[in-house]
Structure 1
Amino acid sequence: MTTGKITLLSAGPGDLDLLTIKAAKALALADIVLLDDLANPGIVSLAPRARVIRVGKRGGCKSTPQAFIERLMQRYALKGLHVVRVKGGEALLFGRAGEELAALRRAGIPVDIVNGISSGFAAAASLGVSLTHREHCQGVTFITAHKQDHGEPDWSALAATGTTLVIYMGMTRIERLCTSLMSALPACTPAAVVQWAGTQAERRWLGTLDRLAIDATDAGLGSPAVILIGPAIGEAMQWVAQPAPIHQINQEPFDAQRAA
């Protein structure tokens, strides 16, 4: 029997208009869709011939084991089917794509990768800021607050890089994170939190590092959210406060309760 193939597909932050044409084509040809919790569930409308299997993985919640997901991909691909593994955001950024790629390559299964927009970029777009504004920094650092050994990054070292910090999965550790960062950054450093970035359920907070943990918690902001810290985020301070709403294109509502 001819071996099928796997497509690791990046579903972006939730707005289906942000999917690439390549993503839409892959979904249209899919036999099996393995759907991540953080992807807009409406994406399955683009895969009319596919069987949809939900394989959610959420920090702090009951999740589908990674090894089981890898076995599912191999099982269906070895039957000659086209399996589309749908991941929220960008598949190659904190999406455990490396583990899946390694397992599939060991099994001799062809893999395609379709890139997408990460929630970090969606958050920056919502705030209307450049993460690499040359008047404020020389780069951007994307970092997860959760290491594989359950430890934490060296926040002081990261702060010393002078880059804009875009922190994923940091809300459950926001107090320790802020305390560590303030050992190397001024308390007045601009900071923001954007929850459900790029969806109609989006919420955000904008202020300074010394108020980040307290105010974001008081506002009820939680996962999934992106934390952004650095002088470049200060560019949002004036115009985000204006009463006029920020224009966002959201053709199809994103059901946050269903994805939570």
Structure 2
Amino acid sequence: MGAWPALEPGWVWLCGAGPGDPGLLTLHAVNALRQADVVVYDALVQAEILDWAPQAEHVYAGKRGGKPSAKQRDISLRLVDLARAGKRVLRLKGGDPFVFGRGGEEAQTLIQHGVPVRIIPGISAGIGGLAYAGIPVTHRDVNQSVTFVTGHDQSGATPQSLNWRAIAEGAQVLVIYMGMKHVDQIAAALLEAGRPADEPVAVVCSATTPDQRVLETTLGRMAADIGAAEMEPPAILCIGRSVLMRQVLDWQALMAGAAPRNLDPLNRGRPAEVS
């Protein structure tokens, strides 16, 4: 078995912490946590994950919509300063650092300032978080593609650069990150573009953590039901027929002794193993 990579002084490792459950860390992430002098972590990184680095200084650099947050420029330059001071720096970001996580910006800043980096991918909430809720983002009877979208742009508004009509027409399954703030506008845009009001939707809040909550609804009811259920971010929205698979794949409910709600939620009319 080969040696694990060493986090050297003056380096920054940009690492994904996964969607929440500490068990979803990669082995490279654990290896980094055990070596770091400083861990600069985001808001969605669980405290139990930081416990893997008791020897390190823990620096909070979380950014949460609508709340006081560090400026991105300050975070990036802080990483540069720590590396230049000879620290072994671990930049720990929720999910995957390159999936709506500004990891590309931070890595580019480091390289432009001559700081060596290593990239450690993580499990993105749009895949792993939905899987924990019993929702496969791909299923051969539903979709051959999946579209990932962010619910807000750099200004915090609904992204104006997105062609919602094209997304509505072309996305077999649509996964939306950070969409809770603008859920009304998003739902209205998709419905106006022709997406059916009865299309299945799942809202997964605090995915993979003990606080996980899942709301199953429809596109036409999504905004109202989120408000009625008092669902709060962080959340992933999934729009598409693959959401129906939760009726049979809610493995956490099965572990608790519940029976599957529907063994054939896609109405295939034949066993799953039959093509």
After TM superposition, the score normalised by the length of structure 2 is: 0.84
The letter of the residue matching 2:132 is S
How far residue 78 of structure 1 moved from its aligned partner, in angstroms, is 0.8
Instruction: Give the Cα–Cα distance (whole angstroms) in 2 for the partners of residues 148 and 182 of structure 1.
Output: 25
Q: Tell me, yes or no, if the aligned pair for 2:14 and 2:90 is still in contact at 8 Å.
A: yes
Q: Does 1:198 align with 2:204?
A: no
Distance 1:246 1:144, change over 3 A: farther
Distance 1:178 1:237, change over 3 A: farther
Query: Which stretch shows the higher mean deviation, 228-237 or 77-86?
Result: 228-237
Distance 1:72 1:247, change over 3 A: farther
* Sequence identity percentage: 38
How far residue 162 of structure 1 moved from its aligned partner, in angstroms, is 3.3
1:167-246 equivalences in 2 (<5 Å): 167-183=176-192, 184-237=194-247, 240=250, 245-246=253-254
Query: Which stretch shows the higher mean deviation, 11-20 or 148-157?
Result: 148-157
1:242-257 equivalences in 2 (<5 Å): 245-247=253-255
Instruction: Give the Cα–Cα distance (whole angstroms) in 1 for the partners of residues 105 and 171 of structure 2.
Output: 31
Instruction: Give the Cα–Cα distance (whole angstroms) in 2 for the partners of residues 180 and 168 of structure 1.
Output: 16
Match of residue 172, structure 2, among 159, 163, 166:
163
Instruction: Give secondary structure in 2 for the equivalent of 1:227.
Output: strand
Match of residue 91, structure 1, among 81, 88, 97:
97
Q: Tell me, yes or no, if the aligned pair for 1:8 and 1:91 is still in contact at 8 Å.
A: yes
* 1:21-64, Cα deviation, whole Å (9 max, x unpaired): 11000010101110111110221211122111111111111101
Match of residue 6, structure 1, among 3, 8, 12:
12
Q: Does 1:36 align with 2:42?
A: yes
How far residue 154 of structure 1 moved from its aligned partner, in angstroms, is 2.5
Q: Tell me, yes or no, if the aligned pair for 1:126 and 1:246 is still in contact at 8 Å.
A: no
Instruction: Give secondary structure in 1 for the equivalent of 2:144.
Output: coil
- Figure out how many residues of one structure are paired with residues of the other and give that number: 245
How far residue 246 of structure 1 moved from its aligned partner, in angstroms, is 4.8
Q: Tell me, yes or no, if the aligned pair for 2:158 and 2:182 is still in contact at 8 Å.
A: no
Query: Which stretch shows the higher mean deviation, 134-143 or 187-196?
Result: 134-143
Instruction: Give the Cα–Cα distance (whole angstroms) in 2 for the partners of residues 12 and 217 of structure 1.
Output: 27
1:70-149 equivalences in 2 (<5 Å): 70-149=76-155
Q: Tell me, yes or no, if the aligned pair for 2:95 and 2:125 is still in contact at 8 Å.
A: yes
Instruction: Give secondary structure in 1 for the equivalent of 2:202.
Output: strand
How far residue 148 of structure 1 moved from its aligned partner, in angstroms, is 2.6
Instruction: Give secondary structure in 2 for the equivalent of 1:207.
Output: strand
How far residue 122 of structure 1 moved from its aligned partner, in angstroms, is 2.7
Instruction: Give the Cα–Cα distance (whole angstroms) in 2 for the partners of residues 92 and 234 of structure 1.
Output: 29
Instruction: Give the Cα–Cα distance (whole angstroms) in 2 for the partners of residues 162 and 169 of structure 1.
Output: 18
Question: Which one has a bigger Cα radius of gyration?
Answer: 2
Q: CA RMSD in A?
A: 1.9
The letter of the residue matching 1:57 is K
Match of residue 65, structure 2, among 50, 59, 62:
59
The letter of the residue matching 1:126 is Y
Structure 1: state its 5+ residue gaps.
249-260
Q: Tell me, yes or no, if the aligned pair for 2:202 and 2:238 is still in contact at 8 Å.
A: yes
Distance 1:175 1:246, change over 3 A: farther
Query: Which stretch shows the higher mean deviation, 29-38 or 129-138?
Result: 129-138
Instruction: Give the Cα–Cα distance (whole angstroms) in 1 for the partners of residues 90 and 254 of structure 2.
Output: 33
Instruction: Give the Cα–Cα distance (whole angstroms) in 1 for the partners of residues 128 and 210 of structure 2.
Output: 12
Q: Tell me, yes or no, if the aligned pair for 2:135 and 2:249 is still in contact at 8 Å.
A: no
Aligned to 2:270: none
Distance 1:67 1:38, change over 3 A: same
The letter of the residue matching 1:67 is R
The letter of the residue matching 1:222 is E
Instruction: Give secondary structure in 2 for the equivalent of 1:86.
Output: strand
* 1:78-108, Cα deviation, whole Å (9 max, x unpaired): 1221100110111110110111111111111
